[in-house]
Structure 1
Amino acid sequence: MGSITASRTQLKPDPRYDSILASKFINCLMQDGKKTVAQQVLYRALDEIGRRIPDAEPIEVFEQAIENVKPYIEVRSKRVGGASYQVPMQVNRARQQSLALRWILGAVRDKKGRPTHLKLADELIAGYKKEGVAYTKRENTHRMADANKAFAHFAW
């Protein structure tokens, strides 16, 4: 998988669900070093998910949402003989995860006028059901890669 960053080795599971992924998400959600605020936002969002989807475990909905948003292939710019080509390439596991987290948080932050935990709950449920802004972004990424399949031979 390549080199492991320090954050990867030092990351401790979150206190409530004992999940490394939740811990990573809290760190990405956190602004200005306010970790307890970020934790409250995630936990309240998961409580909200628990209310809206009573037959599913909230942490599993969260993990499945991220799994559904992960892109497997993306386009990267490659210059060949003075022309730039959008070359489709496989995405490694660490980047899949960070892109999924980034897209979900981006979708949440773009929505305005409601408490963050409710927006986050909405986006996670949408991702779980394979819909929503972050999932659409993944689909568009895959579509771009598909459209540029002709340049796949430049991927070396």
Structure 2
Amino acid sequence: MLVNKQDITLIKKIGFPEKKNMDRSKKQKRSIKFLGIKSDPLVKKMINLLMRDGKRSKAENVLNKALQSLDKDYPGQAIHIFYLGILAVRQDIGVRLKPKPKTRRNKQAFNVYLPRIISPICGLNLGMRSLLKASRDRSMTSPLWENLSKELLKASQNKGEVVSKRYSLNKLAMSNKRRIHFGVRY
């Protein structure tokens, strides 16, 4: 059967369903609703930190499943828990080791920690990284999205490993405050 240009234009005008449209409708039925706002800068940053080897869709799916898990347990509160968790783990103060003097005889046997004030954007990034590290270090029997949702929930309640690390780091910085004035890290 030969098809000419007039037949093709007639088919386009009538609007016969093409194979592409059928596949798209199946995908729409199969896809799950993304609870996070993809245009939000914190959600974008979390997706970028989750991403490995350029697999953005996988990172979006992990974050989406984590938010859906939170939404299943706490309906309508998933995004709120996400923001509270991120704000609870942000870092304000960091410490670094003071370099040892290059003398032959070591005068001090203990480490000196120098506190530094961290800028708010950098502090949010460091907090998100520590949250993801803690969720990756959790048990491997459960998937990453489940571990991430548990860590976000604990962080939003000011509990958990990441929040306790933050408070211990702040305590260490405040105990060494007299050694140096705070410097700002950008």
Give the TM-score taking structure 1 as reference length.
Answer: 0.80
1:124-154 CA-to-partner distances (Å, cap 9, x unmatched) read 0011001112112211211211221221347
1:51-90 correspondence to structure 2 within 5 Å? 51-54=72-75, 56=77, 58-79=78-99, 85-90=112-117
Out of 114, 137, 157, which is 1:110 matched to? 137
What is the match of residue 171 of structure 2? 143
1:36-55 correspondence to structure 2 within 5 Å? 36-54=57-75
Which consecutive residues of structure 1, in runs of 5 or more, have no partner in the other structure? 1-13
Query: For the residues of structure 2 that align with 1:74 and 1:101, how far apart are their CA atoms?
Result: 15
What is the match of residue 131 of structure 1? 159
Query: For the residues of structure 2 that align with 1:72 and 1:93, how far apart are their CA atoms?
Result: 7
The sequence identity of aligned pairs, in percent, is 30
1:13-40 CA-to-partner distances (Å, cap 9, x unmatched) read x995131111110110111211111100
Contact residue 87 and residue 155 of structure 1 kept, 8 A: no
What is the match of residue 52 of structure 2? 31
Compute the displacement of 1:55 (Å): 5.3
Query: For the residues of structure 1 that align with 2:76 and 2:55, how far apart are their CA atoms?
Result: 32
SS of alignment partner, residue 102 of structure 1: helix
Which range is displaced more, 39-48 or 83-92?
A: 83-92
Question: What one-letter code is carried by the residue in structure 2 that aligns with 1:142?
Answer: N
Contact residue 103 and residue 137 of structure 1 kept, 8 A: no
Question: Where do 4+ consecutive residues of structure 1 move more than 4 Å?
Answer: 80-84
SS of alignment partner, residue 75 of structure 2: coil
Compute the displacement of 1:97 (Å): 1.2
Question: What one-letter code is carried by the residue in structure 1 that aligns with 2:145?
Answer: H
RMSD after superposition: 2.3
Question: What one-letter code is carried by the residue in structure 2 that aligns with 1:99?
Answer: L
SS of alignment partner, residue 116 of structure 2: strand
What is the match of residue 98 of structure 1? 125
Contact residue 87 and residue 151 of structure 1 kept, 8 A: yes
Query: For the residues of structure 2 that align with 1:79 and 1:92, how far apart are their CA atoms?
Result: 23
Give the TM-score taking structure 2 as reference length.
Answer: 0.68
Question: What one-letter code is carried by the residue in structure 2 that aligns with 1:34?
Answer: K
SS of alignment partner, residue 131 of structure 1: coil
Contact residue 91 and residue 166 of structure 2 kept, 8 A: yes
For this pair of structures, how many residues does the alignment match?
A: 142
Question: What one-letter code is carried by the residue in structure 2 that aligns with 1:106?
Answer: K
